[in-house]
Structure 1
Protein backbone atom coordinates (compact mmCIF):
# COMPACT_ATOMS: atom_id res chain seq x y z
CA UNK A 1 0.00 0.00 0.00
CA UNK A 2 2.80 2.40 0.98
CA UNK A 3 4.72 1.55 -2.19
CA UNK A 4 1.58 2.18 -4.26
CA UNK A 5 1.11 5.57 -2.57
CA UNK A 6 4.73 6.55 -3.28
CA UNK A 7 4.31 5.52 -6.91
CA UNK A 8 1.19 7.67 -7.30
CA UNK A 9 2.90 10.61 -5.57
CA UNK A 10 5.89 10.40 -7.91
CA UNK A 11 3.57 10.30 -10.89
CA UNK A 12 1.79 13.42 -9.67
CA UNK A 13 5.10 15.24 -9.08
CA UNK A 14 6.42 14.28 -12.52
CA UNK A 15 3.17 15.39 -14.15
CA UNK A 16 3.27 18.67 -12.22
CA UNK A 17 6.80 19.53 -13.33
CA UNK A 18 5.99 18.41 -16.85
CA UNK A 19 3.10 20.86 -16.90
CA UNK A 20 5.39 23.66 -15.71
CA UNK A 21 7.97 22.88 -18.40
CA UNK A 22 5.27 22.73 -21.07
CA UNK A 23 3.87 26.06 -19.89
CA UNK A 24 7.30 27.70 -20.01
CA UNK A 25 7.99 26.21 -23.42
CA UNK A 26 4.64 27.43 -24.77
CA UNK A 27 5.25 30.90 -23.35
CA UNK A 28 8.69 31.00 -24.92
CA UNK A 29 7.27 29.93 -28.26
CA UNK A 30 4.56 32.58 -28.17
CA UNK A 31 7.10 35.40 -27.88
CA UNK A 32 9.86 33.84 -29.98
CA UNK A 33 9.24 36.08 -33.01
CA UNK A 34 9.43 39.17 -30.81
CA UNK A 35 12.62 37.88 -29.19
CA UNK A 36 14.16 37.16 -32.58
CA UNK A 37 13.54 40.72 -33.70
CA UNK A 38 14.96 42.16 -30.48
CA UNK A 39 18.02 39.91 -30.49
CA UNK A 40 18.95 40.02 -34.18
CA UNK A 41 17.77 36.44 -34.55
CA UNK A 42 15.79 36.60 -37.78
CA UNK A 43 16.74 34.44 -40.77
CA UNK A 44 16.17 36.94 -43.55
CA UNK A 45 15.49 36.45 -47.26
CA UNK A 46 15.41 39.19 -49.88
CA UNK A 47 12.75 39.07 -52.61
CA UNK A 48 13.89 40.90 -55.75
CA UNK A 49 12.73 41.35 -59.33
CA UNK A 50 9.65 42.57 -61.14
CA UNK A 51 5.91 41.84 -61.13
CA UNK A 52 5.95 38.05 -60.89
CA UNK A 53 8.06 38.27 -57.75
CA UNK A 54 5.85 41.03 -56.37
CA UNK A 55 2.86 38.85 -57.20
CA UNK A 56 -0.09 39.25 -59.51
CA UNK A 57 -1.97 36.04 -58.71
CA UNK A 58 -5.54 36.92 -57.61
CA UNK A 59 -6.20 37.31 -53.89
CA UNK A 60 -8.92 35.29 -52.14
CA UNK A 61 -10.47 35.74 -48.66
CA UNK A 62 -8.14 33.26 -46.95
CA UNK A 63 -5.19 35.53 -47.77
CA UNK A 64 -6.21 37.69 -44.82
CA UNK A 65 -5.41 34.78 -42.47
CA UNK A 66 -1.98 34.58 -40.84
CA UNK A 67 -0.72 31.07 -41.58
CA UNK A 68 2.45 31.05 -39.49
CA UNK A 69 3.37 33.70 -36.92
CA UNK A 70 7.02 32.70 -37.27
CA UNK A 71 7.12 33.97 -40.85
CA UNK A 72 7.40 37.76 -40.92
CA UNK A 73 7.45 40.43 -43.60
CA UNK A 74 9.22 43.78 -43.67
CA UNK A 75 6.64 46.44 -44.46
CA UNK A 76 6.97 49.58 -46.55
CA UNK A 77 7.39 51.41 -43.23
CA UNK A 78 10.28 49.13 -42.19
CA UNK A 79 8.30 47.23 -39.55
CA UNK A 80 8.23 43.48 -38.99
CA UNK A 81 4.73 41.99 -38.97
CA UNK A 82 3.30 38.50 -39.46
CA UNK A 83 3.44 37.73 -43.18
CA UNK A 84 0.40 37.49 -45.42
CA UNK A 85 -0.36 38.28 -49.03
CA UNK A 86 0.23 40.70 -50.57
CA UNK A 87 3.82 40.99 -49.36
CA UNK A 88 4.79 43.70 -51.80
CA UNK A 89 3.65 47.30 -52.19
CA UNK A 90 5.15 48.35 -55.52
CA UNK A 91 1.75 48.94 -57.12
CA UNK A 92 -1.01 49.19 -54.51
CA UNK A 93 -4.27 47.66 -55.68
CA UNK A 94 -2.43 45.51 -58.21
CA UNK A 95 0.04 43.60 -56.05
CA UNK A 96 -1.38 40.23 -54.97
CA UNK A 97 -0.09 36.64 -54.64
CA UNK A 98 3.51 35.91 -55.54
CA UNK A 99 6.00 33.19 -54.59
CA UNK A 100 7.35 34.94 -51.49
CA UNK A 101 4.93 33.77 -48.81
CA UNK A 102 4.85 30.11 -49.82
CA UNK A 103 8.65 30.24 -49.94
CA UNK A 104 8.79 31.61 -46.39
CA UNK A 105 6.33 29.02 -45.11
CA UNK A 106 8.34 26.21 -46.71
CA UNK A 107 11.60 27.50 -45.22
CA UNK A 108 10.06 27.70 -41.76
CA UNK A 109 8.67 24.18 -42.15
CA UNK A 110 12.18 22.97 -43.00
CA UNK A 111 13.76 24.88 -40.10
CA UNK A 112 11.11 24.82 -37.39
CA UNK A 113 13.17 26.69 -34.81
CA UNK A 114 13.78 29.58 -37.22
CA UNK A 115 11.95 32.88 -37.39
CA UNK A 116 11.85 33.76 -41.08
CA UNK A 117 11.94 37.38 -42.24
CA UNK A 118 10.92 38.25 -45.80
CA UNK A 119 12.05 41.56 -47.30
CA UNK A 120 10.00 42.55 -50.36
CA UNK A 121 11.88 44.76 -52.83
CA UNK A 122 10.44 43.80 -56.25
CA UNK A 123 9.05 46.47 -58.56
CA UNK A 124 6.67 45.52 -61.36
CA UNK A 125 7.65 46.32 -64.94
CA UNK A 126 11.32 46.98 -64.23
CA UNK A 127 14.10 46.03 -66.63
CA UNK A 128 17.42 44.85 -65.23
CA UNK A 129 18.99 48.21 -66.11
CA UNK A 130 16.76 49.71 -63.42
CA UNK A 131 18.52 47.47 -60.91
CA UNK A 132 21.88 49.17 -61.31
CA UNK A 133 23.22 51.71 -58.83
CA UNK A 134 21.18 54.87 -59.37
CA UNK A 135 18.93 53.09 -61.89
CA UNK A 136 15.52 54.75 -62.30
CA UNK A 137 12.18 53.31 -63.41
CA UNK A 138 10.08 56.02 -65.04
CA UNK A 139 6.80 54.12 -64.89
CA UNK A 140 6.86 53.71 -61.10
CA UNK A 141 9.13 56.67 -60.37
CA UNK A 142 11.28 54.40 -58.24
CA UNK A 143 14.96 53.57 -57.89
CA UNK A 144 14.74 49.76 -57.54
CA UNK A 145 18.33 49.00 -56.55
CA UNK A 146 18.82 52.04 -54.35
CA UNK A 147 15.51 51.42 -52.57
CA UNK A 148 16.31 47.72 -52.11
CA UNK A 149 19.75 48.56 -50.76
CA UNK A 150 18.25 50.80 -48.08
CA UNK A 151 15.74 48.14 -47.06
CA UNK A 152 18.40 45.41 -46.91
CA UNK A 153 20.67 47.55 -44.73
CA UNK A 154 17.78 48.24 -42.37
CA UNK A 155 16.69 44.59 -42.30
CA UNK A 156 20.19 43.44 -41.35
CA UNK A 157 19.77 45.17 -38.00
CA UNK A 158 17.39 42.38 -37.04
CA UNK A 159 19.18 39.25 -38.15
CA UNK A 160 21.21 37.52 -40.84
CA UNK A 161 20.58 37.62 -44.57
CA UNK A 162 20.35 33.94 -45.52
CA UNK A 163 19.53 34.16 -49.20
CA UNK A 164 18.04 36.02 -52.16
CA UNK A 165 15.20 35.19 -54.54
CA UNK A 166 15.29 36.80 -57.97
CA UNK A 167 12.57 36.72 -60.61
CA UNK A 168 12.93 39.23 -63.40
CA UNK A 169 13.46 39.31 -67.14
CA UNK A 170 10.09 39.68 -68.82
CA UNK A 171 11.04 43.29 -69.58
CA UNK A 172 14.35 42.10 -71.07
CA UNK A 173 13.05 39.17 -73.11
CA UNK A 174 13.65 40.61 -76.57
CA UNK A 175 16.56 38.76 -78.17
CA UNK A 176 18.89 41.78 -78.22
CA UNK A 177 18.31 42.48 -74.52
CA UNK A 178 18.54 38.85 -73.47
CA UNK A 179 21.92 38.57 -75.20
CA UNK A 180 23.46 41.02 -72.72
CA UNK A 181 21.38 40.01 -69.69
CA UNK A 182 23.64 37.54 -67.91
CA UNK A 183 26.61 39.86 -67.15
CA UNK A 184 24.16 42.35 -65.65
CA UNK A 185 22.67 39.67 -63.42
CA UNK A 186 26.15 38.56 -62.35
CA UNK A 187 26.95 42.15 -61.41
CA UNK A 188 23.78 42.41 -59.34
CA UNK A 189 24.63 39.21 -57.46
CA UNK A 190 28.09 40.59 -56.67
CA UNK A 191 26.57 43.82 -55.36
CA UNK A 192 24.11 42.03 -53.10
CA UNK A 193 26.80 39.74 -51.71
CA UNK A 194 29.15 42.64 -51.09
CA UNK A 195 26.36 44.59 -49.39
CA UNK A 196 25.61 41.80 -46.90
CA UNK A 197 29.25 40.76 -46.48
CA UNK A 198 28.85 37.19 -47.70
CA UNK A 199 30.41 36.10 -50.99
CA UNK A 200 28.69 32.72 -50.67
CA UNK A 201 25.19 34.08 -50.15
CA UNK A 202 22.71 31.67 -51.80
CA UNK A 203 20.96 33.24 -54.77
CA UNK A 204 18.04 31.47 -56.47
CA UNK A 205 16.78 32.66 -59.85
CA UNK A 206 13.30 31.70 -61.03
CA UNK A 207 12.69 30.82 -64.65
CA UNK A 208 10.24 32.98 -66.56
CA UNK A 209 6.88 31.42 -67.43
CA UNK A 210 7.04 28.93 -70.27
CA UNK A 211 3.66 30.08 -71.56
CA UNK A 212 5.29 32.97 -73.43
CA UNK A 213 7.75 31.88 -76.16
CA UNK A 214 9.80 35.09 -75.97
CA UNK A 215 10.64 34.38 -72.32
CA UNK A 216 12.77 31.46 -73.45
CA UNK A 217 15.41 34.01 -74.50
CA UNK A 218 15.99 34.84 -70.83
CA UNK A 219 15.60 31.27 -69.58
CA UNK A 220 18.37 30.10 -71.90
CA UNK A 221 20.69 32.74 -70.44
CA UNK A 222 19.89 32.18 -66.76
CA UNK A 223 20.35 28.42 -67.24
CA UNK A 224 24.08 29.17 -67.61
CA UNK A 225 24.29 30.94 -64.25
CA UNK A 226 25.01 28.02 -61.85
CA UNK A 227 28.08 27.05 -63.89
CA UNK A 228 29.39 30.63 -63.83
CA UNK A 229 28.53 31.87 -60.34
CA UNK A 230 28.95 29.65 -57.26
CA UNK A 231 26.05 29.23 -54.83
CA UNK A 232 23.38 30.02 -57.39
CA UNK A 233 20.52 27.83 -58.56
CA UNK A 234 17.50 27.89 -60.85
CA UNK A 235 13.90 27.31 -59.77
CA UNK A 236 12.04 25.71 -62.66
CA UNK A 237 8.80 27.11 -64.04
CA UNK A 238 7.89 23.84 -65.75
CA UNK A 239 4.14 23.24 -65.74
CA UNK A 240 3.26 26.62 -64.24
CA UNK A 241 0.45 28.58 -65.85
CA UNK A 242 -0.45 32.22 -66.38
CA UNK A 243 -3.59 33.97 -65.20
CA UNK A 244 -4.77 34.56 -68.74
CA UNK A 245 -2.60 37.53 -69.65
CA UNK A 246 0.38 35.56 -71.03
CA UNK A 247 2.59 37.40 -68.53
CA UNK A 248 1.78 36.72 -64.88
CA UNK A 249 1.59 33.45 -62.95
CA UNK A 250 -1.83 32.56 -61.63
CA UNK A 251 -2.38 32.11 -57.91
CA UNK A 252 -1.74 28.37 -57.66
CA UNK A 253 1.36 28.57 -59.85
CA UNK A 254 2.82 31.41 -57.78
CA UNK A 255 2.38 29.31 -54.63
CA UNK A 256 3.99 26.25 -56.20
CA UNK A 257 6.81 28.43 -57.51
CA UNK A 258 7.61 29.67 -54.01
CA UNK A 259 7.94 26.08 -52.83
CA UNK A 260 10.33 25.38 -55.70
CA UNK A 261 12.39 28.41 -54.73
CA UNK A 262 12.57 27.00 -51.19
CA UNK A 263 13.72 23.59 -52.41
CA UNK A 264 16.61 25.16 -54.31
CA UNK A 265 17.49 27.46 -51.41
CA UNK A 266 17.67 24.53 -48.99
CA UNK A 267 19.95 22.62 -51.37
CA UNK A 268 22.30 25.61 -51.69
CA UNK A 269 22.42 26.03 -47.92
CA UNK A 270 23.48 22.40 -47.50
CA UNK A 271 26.74 23.07 -49.36
CA UNK A 272 27.28 26.61 -48.11
Structure 2
Protein backbone atom coordinates (compact mmCIF):
# COMPACT_ATOMS: atom_id res chain seq x y z
CA UNK A 1 0.00 0.00 0.00
CA UNK A 2 2.90 2.37 0.76
CA UNK A 3 4.20 1.79 -2.76
CA UNK A 4 0.76 2.58 -4.17
CA UNK A 5 0.39 5.83 -2.21
CA UNK A 6 3.92 6.89 -3.07
CA UNK A 7 3.24 6.27 -6.75
CA UNK A 8 -0.02 8.25 -6.63
CA UNK A 9 1.77 11.20 -5.00
CA UNK A 10 4.54 11.03 -7.58
CA UNK A 11 2.08 10.95 -10.45
CA UNK A 12 0.11 13.83 -8.96
CA UNK A 13 3.26 15.92 -8.58
CA UNK A 14 4.30 15.22 -12.15
CA UNK A 15 0.90 16.24 -13.46
CA UNK A 16 1.03 19.50 -11.54
CA UNK A 17 4.30 20.27 -13.27
CA UNK A 18 2.75 19.64 -16.70
CA UNK A 19 -0.55 21.54 -16.73
CA UNK A 20 -0.36 22.46 -20.41
CA UNK A 21 0.38 18.92 -21.56
CA UNK A 22 -2.17 16.99 -19.53
CA UNK A 23 -4.65 19.50 -18.12
CA UNK A 24 -5.69 19.72 -14.49
CA UNK A 25 -6.50 16.47 -12.70
CA UNK A 26 -9.04 16.30 -9.92
CA UNK A 27 -7.74 14.14 -7.07
CA UNK A 28 -11.21 12.61 -6.85
CA UNK A 29 -10.71 11.32 -10.40
CA UNK A 30 -7.79 9.10 -9.44
CA UNK A 31 -7.98 5.72 -7.68
CA UNK A 32 -7.30 5.77 -3.96
CA UNK A 33 -6.72 2.06 -3.37
CA UNK A 34 -4.88 -0.77 -5.08
CA UNK A 35 -6.49 -2.08 -8.22
CA UNK A 36 -7.34 -5.44 -9.71
CA UNK A 37 -5.96 -5.08 -13.22
CA UNK A 38 -7.00 -6.57 -16.55
CA UNK A 39 -5.03 -6.27 -19.78
CA UNK A 40 -7.23 -5.97 -22.88
CA UNK A 41 -5.49 -7.31 -25.99
CA UNK A 42 -6.34 -8.54 -29.46
CA UNK A 43 -7.96 -6.77 -32.39
CA UNK A 44 -11.05 -4.67 -33.09
CA UNK A 45 -13.69 -6.78 -31.34
CA UNK A 46 -11.67 -6.41 -28.13
CA UNK A 47 -11.12 -2.71 -28.71
CA UNK A 48 -14.87 -2.38 -29.34
CA UNK A 49 -16.73 -1.06 -32.33
CA UNK A 50 -20.20 -0.89 -30.81
CA UNK A 51 -22.39 2.18 -30.88
CA UNK A 52 -22.16 4.23 -27.67
CA UNK A 53 -25.41 5.35 -26.10
CA UNK A 54 -24.71 8.70 -24.36
CA UNK A 55 -27.50 7.94 -21.88
CA UNK A 56 -25.61 4.81 -20.80
CA UNK A 57 -22.16 6.29 -20.59
CA UNK A 58 -21.72 7.59 -17.07
CA UNK A 59 -18.40 6.56 -15.47
CA UNK A 60 -18.52 3.17 -13.78
CA UNK A 61 -18.00 3.54 -10.05
CA UNK A 62 -14.80 1.88 -8.92
CA UNK A 63 -13.58 1.22 -12.49
CA UNK A 64 -10.61 2.99 -14.05
CA UNK A 65 -9.00 2.98 -17.47
CA UNK A 66 -5.28 3.50 -18.12
CA UNK A 67 -5.50 6.29 -20.67
CA UNK A 68 -3.43 7.34 -23.66
CA UNK A 69 -1.50 9.79 -21.47
CA UNK A 70 -0.39 6.96 -19.15
CA UNK A 71 -2.58 7.83 -16.20
CA UNK A 72 -5.83 6.57 -14.77
CA UNK A 73 -9.05 7.96 -16.17
CA UNK A 74 -12.70 7.44 -15.17
CA UNK A 75 -14.21 4.54 -17.13
CA UNK A 76 -16.11 6.33 -19.90
CA UNK A 77 -16.32 4.68 -23.33
CA UNK A 78 -14.58 4.39 -25.67
CA UNK A 79 -11.85 2.80 -23.56
CA UNK A 80 -9.63 2.23 -26.61
CA UNK A 81 -8.27 4.77 -29.11
CA UNK A 82 -6.58 2.41 -31.57
CA UNK A 83 -8.64 3.78 -34.48
CA UNK A 84 -11.10 6.62 -34.94
CA UNK A 85 -14.04 4.17 -34.97
CA UNK A 86 -13.28 2.84 -31.48
CA UNK A 87 -16.55 2.48 -29.59
CA UNK A 88 -18.37 0.37 -27.03
CA UNK A 89 -16.62 -2.84 -26.05
CA UNK A 90 -16.91 -5.92 -23.90
CA UNK A 91 -14.70 -4.56 -21.11
CA UNK A 92 -17.45 -2.38 -19.64
CA UNK A 93 -19.82 -5.22 -18.80
CA UNK A 94 -16.88 -7.40 -17.73
CA UNK A 95 -15.77 -4.75 -15.23
CA UNK A 96 -19.32 -4.19 -14.00
CA UNK A 97 -19.75 -7.92 -13.37
CA UNK A 98 -16.39 -8.10 -11.61
CA UNK A 99 -17.26 -5.17 -9.36
CA UNK A 100 -20.66 -6.67 -8.53
CA UNK A 101 -18.89 -9.82 -7.31
CA UNK A 102 -16.00 -7.92 -5.67
CA UNK A 103 -17.54 -4.73 -4.25
CA UNK A 104 -14.59 -4.06 -1.95
CA UNK A 105 -12.04 -3.58 -4.74
CA UNK A 106 -11.55 -1.26 -7.69
CA UNK A 107 -10.89 -2.44 -11.25
CA UNK A 108 -8.20 -1.08 -13.54
CA UNK A 109 -8.55 -1.75 -17.26
CA UNK A 110 -5.48 -1.53 -19.51
CA UNK A 111 -6.59 -1.03 -23.15
CA UNK A 112 -4.05 -2.35 -25.64
CA UNK A 113 -5.98 -3.97 -28.50
CA UNK A 114 -5.18 -3.01 -32.10
CA UNK A 115 -7.94 -3.28 -34.67
CA UNK A 116 -6.99 -5.39 -37.67
CA UNK A 117 -3.87 -6.89 -36.09
CA UNK A 118 -2.80 -10.45 -36.89
CA UNK A 119 -0.63 -12.56 -34.60
CA UNK A 120 2.56 -11.59 -36.42
CA UNK A 121 1.82 -7.95 -35.60
CA UNK A 122 2.31 -8.90 -31.93
CA UNK A 123 5.86 -10.08 -32.45
CA UNK A 124 8.55 -8.41 -30.38
CA UNK A 125 9.51 -5.18 -32.14
CA UNK A 126 6.76 -5.38 -34.77
CA UNK A 127 5.26 -2.12 -36.03
CA UNK A 128 1.60 -2.15 -37.07
CA UNK A 129 0.86 0.45 -39.70
CA UNK A 130 -2.93 0.51 -39.27
CA UNK A 131 -2.70 1.82 -35.72
CA UNK A 132 0.76 3.37 -36.05
CA UNK A 133 1.87 1.48 -32.99
CA UNK A 134 4.05 -1.35 -31.73
CA UNK A 135 1.39 -3.68 -30.27
CA UNK A 136 3.68 -5.88 -28.17
CA UNK A 137 5.85 -3.08 -26.85
CA UNK A 138 2.93 -0.76 -26.16
CA UNK A 139 0.86 -3.42 -24.35
CA UNK A 140 3.65 -4.59 -22.08
CA UNK A 141 4.94 -1.09 -21.38
CA UNK A 142 1.49 0.16 -20.43
CA UNK A 143 0.76 -2.93 -18.35
CA UNK A 144 3.99 -2.57 -16.38
CA UNK A 145 3.24 1.08 -15.63
CA UNK A 146 -0.31 0.29 -14.51
CA UNK A 147 0.90 -2.63 -12.39
CA UNK A 148 2.63 -0.22 -10.02
CA UNK A 149 -0.89 0.56 -8.80
CA UNK A 150 -2.27 -2.94 -8.45
CA UNK A 151 -2.16 -6.63 -9.27
CA UNK A 152 -2.69 -8.17 -12.68
CA UNK A 153 -5.72 -10.43 -12.32
CA UNK A 154 -6.27 -11.40 -15.92
CA UNK A 155 -5.52 -11.03 -19.62
CA UNK A 156 -8.56 -10.75 -21.88
CA UNK A 157 -7.82 -11.78 -25.47
CA UNK A 158 -10.06 -11.54 -28.52
CA UNK A 159 -8.44 -11.99 -31.92
CA UNK A 160 -8.31 -14.37 -34.85
CA UNK A 161 -10.28 -12.77 -37.65
CA UNK A 162 -7.11 -11.47 -39.31
CA UNK A 163 -5.50 -14.92 -39.11
CA UNK A 164 -8.47 -16.83 -40.53
CA UNK A 165 -6.84 -17.10 -43.95
CA UNK A 166 -4.73 -19.69 -45.77
CA UNK A 167 -1.08 -19.35 -44.88
CA UNK A 168 -1.84 -17.91 -41.43
CA UNK A 169 -4.43 -20.16 -39.81
CA UNK A 170 -2.19 -23.23 -40.01
CA UNK A 171 0.31 -21.62 -37.63
CA UNK A 172 -2.20 -19.90 -35.37
CA UNK A 173 -2.15 -22.35 -32.47
CA UNK A 174 1.63 -22.40 -32.12
CA UNK A 175 1.80 -18.64 -32.52
CA UNK A 176 -0.84 -17.88 -29.92
CA UNK A 177 0.69 -20.30 -27.41
CA UNK A 178 4.01 -18.52 -27.81
CA UNK A 179 2.43 -15.07 -27.48
CA UNK A 180 0.55 -15.93 -24.29
CA UNK A 181 3.67 -17.44 -22.76
CA UNK A 182 5.55 -14.29 -23.72
CA UNK A 183 2.95 -12.10 -21.98
CA UNK A 184 3.22 -14.17 -18.82
CA UNK A 185 7.01 -13.98 -18.82
CA UNK A 186 7.20 -10.26 -19.59
CA UNK A 187 4.70 -9.39 -16.85
CA UNK A 188 6.11 -11.88 -14.32
CA UNK A 189 2.71 -13.54 -14.09
CA UNK A 190 3.23 -17.24 -14.92
CA UNK A 191 -0.26 -18.33 -13.86
CA UNK A 192 -2.29 -15.22 -14.63
CA UNK A 193 -5.80 -16.18 -15.82
CA UNK A 194 -6.30 -15.71 -19.56
CA UNK A 195 -9.71 -15.54 -21.24
CA UNK A 196 -9.93 -16.24 -24.98
CA UNK A 197 -13.11 -15.22 -26.79
CA UNK A 198 -14.52 -16.99 -29.83
CA UNK A 199 -14.61 -15.00 -33.05
CA UNK A 200 -18.07 -14.06 -34.31
CA UNK A 201 -20.44 -16.54 -35.93
CA UNK A 202 -22.50 -14.13 -37.98
CA UNK A 203 -23.57 -16.08 -41.08
CA UNK A 204 -25.48 -19.33 -41.52
CA UNK A 205 -22.82 -20.61 -43.90
CA UNK A 206 -20.34 -23.24 -42.80
CA UNK A 207 -17.02 -21.95 -41.49
CA UNK A 208 -14.15 -21.91 -43.92
CA UNK A 209 -11.26 -24.25 -43.19
CA UNK A 210 -9.03 -21.41 -41.90
CA UNK A 211 -11.84 -20.21 -39.61
CA UNK A 212 -12.22 -23.74 -38.28
CA UNK A 213 -8.48 -23.94 -37.66
CA UNK A 214 -8.42 -20.71 -35.66
CA UNK A 215 -11.50 -21.72 -33.67
CA UNK A 216 -10.02 -25.15 -32.91
CA UNK A 217 -6.72 -23.57 -31.88
CA UNK A 218 -8.38 -21.26 -29.36
CA UNK A 219 -10.30 -24.16 -27.83
CA UNK A 220 -7.22 -26.40 -27.77
CA UNK A 221 -5.09 -23.84 -25.97
CA UNK A 222 -7.75 -23.38 -23.30
CA UNK A 223 -8.25 -27.13 -22.88
CA UNK A 224 -4.53 -27.69 -22.34
CA UNK A 225 -3.90 -24.96 -19.74
CA UNK A 226 -5.66 -24.85 -16.38
CA UNK A 227 -5.27 -21.06 -16.30
CA UNK A 228 -6.81 -20.39 -19.72
CA UNK A 229 -10.52 -20.48 -20.53
CA UNK A 230 -12.42 -20.20 -23.82
CA UNK A 231 -15.67 -18.22 -24.20
CA UNK A 232 -18.38 -19.02 -26.72
CA UNK A 233 -19.81 -16.33 -29.00
CA UNK A 234 -22.84 -18.47 -29.85
CA UNK A 235 -25.95 -16.44 -30.61
CA UNK A 236 -24.22 -13.06 -30.55
CA UNK A 237 -25.11 -10.69 -33.35
CA UNK A 238 -23.11 -8.38 -35.59
CA UNK A 239 -23.27 -4.81 -36.75
CA UNK A 240 -24.33 -4.29 -40.39
CA UNK A 241 -20.68 -4.68 -41.42
CA UNK A 242 -20.90 -8.38 -40.57
CA UNK A 243 -17.50 -8.21 -38.86
CA UNK A 244 -17.97 -6.54 -35.48
CA UNK A 245 -20.24 -7.42 -32.59
CA UNK A 246 -23.02 -4.92 -31.98
CA UNK A 247 -23.22 -3.21 -28.60
CA UNK A 248 -25.76 -5.56 -27.00
CA UNK A 249 -23.69 -8.55 -28.10
CA UNK A 250 -20.53 -6.98 -26.68
CA UNK A 251 -22.24 -6.43 -23.33
CA UNK A 252 -23.26 -10.10 -23.26
CA UNK A 253 -19.79 -11.18 -24.33
CA UNK A 254 -18.26 -9.18 -21.48
CA UNK A 255 -20.54 -10.94 -19.00
CA UNK A 256 -19.52 -14.28 -20.49
CA UNK A 257 -15.87 -13.31 -20.14
CA UNK A 258 -16.39 -12.63 -16.44
CA UNK A 259 -18.32 -15.86 -15.86
CA UNK A 260 -15.50 -17.77 -17.55
CA UNK A 261 -12.77 -15.89 -15.64
CA UNK A 262 -14.51 -16.77 -12.37
CA UNK A 263 -14.08 -20.49 -13.07
CA UNK A 264 -10.27 -20.25 -13.18
CA UNK A 265 -8.02 -20.97 -10.21
TMscore range, shorter length: 0.7 to 0.9
- Residue-pair matches, total: 234
Mapped to 2, the partners of 1:175 and 1:234 lie a distance apart of 23
Mapped to 2, the partners of 1:160 and 1:175 lie a distance apart of 39
**C-alpha displacement of 1:217:** 3.4
Is the partner of 1:180 in helix, strand or coil?
Answer: helix
Alignment equivalent of 1:183, drawn from 174, 178, 181 = 174
Mapped to 1, the partners of 2:226 and 2:169 lie a distance apart of 21
Which structure 1 residue ranges, 4+ long, deviate > 4 Å from structure 2? Answer: none
Mapped to 2, the partners of 1:87 and 1:250 lie a distance apart of 16
Mapped to 2, the partners of 1:217 and 1:63 lie a distance apart of 37
Mapped to 1, the partners of 2:255 and 2:169 lie a distance apart of 26
Alignment equivalent of 1:230, drawn from 209, 219, 226 = 226
Q: How does 1:51-62 map to 2 (within 5 A)?
A: 51-62=44-55
**C-alpha displacement of 1:32:** 11
Q: Which structure features the higher share of helix residues?
A: 1
Q: If you compute each CA radius of gyration, which structure gives the higher value, 1 or 2?
A: 1
**C-alpha displacement of 1:147:** 0.8
**C-alpha displacement of 1:33:** 6.6
Is the partner of 1:267 in helix, strand or coil?
Answer: coil
Matched, 1:35 2:41: no
Aligned twin of 2:69: 77
Q: How does 1:104-183 map to 2 (within 5 A)?
A: 104-183=95-174
Unaligned runs of 5+ in 1: 1-30
Provide the TM-score with structure 1 as the length reference: 0.82
Mapped to 1, the partners of 2:250 and 2:166 lie a distance apart of 26
Matched, 1:46 2:21: no
Distance 1:76 1:63, change over 3 A: farther
Is the partner of 1:249 in helix, strand or coil?
Answer: coil
Residue 33 of structure 1 contacts residue 115 of structure 1 at CA under 8 Å; is this kept in 2?
A: no
> Which stretch shows the higher mean deviation, 200-209 or 222-231?
222-231
Aligned twin of 2:21: none
Provide the TM-score with structure 2 as the length reference: 0.84
Aligned twin of 2:257: 261
Distance 1:76 1:221, change over 3 A: same
> Which stretch shows the higher mean deviation, 187-196 or 149-158?
187-196
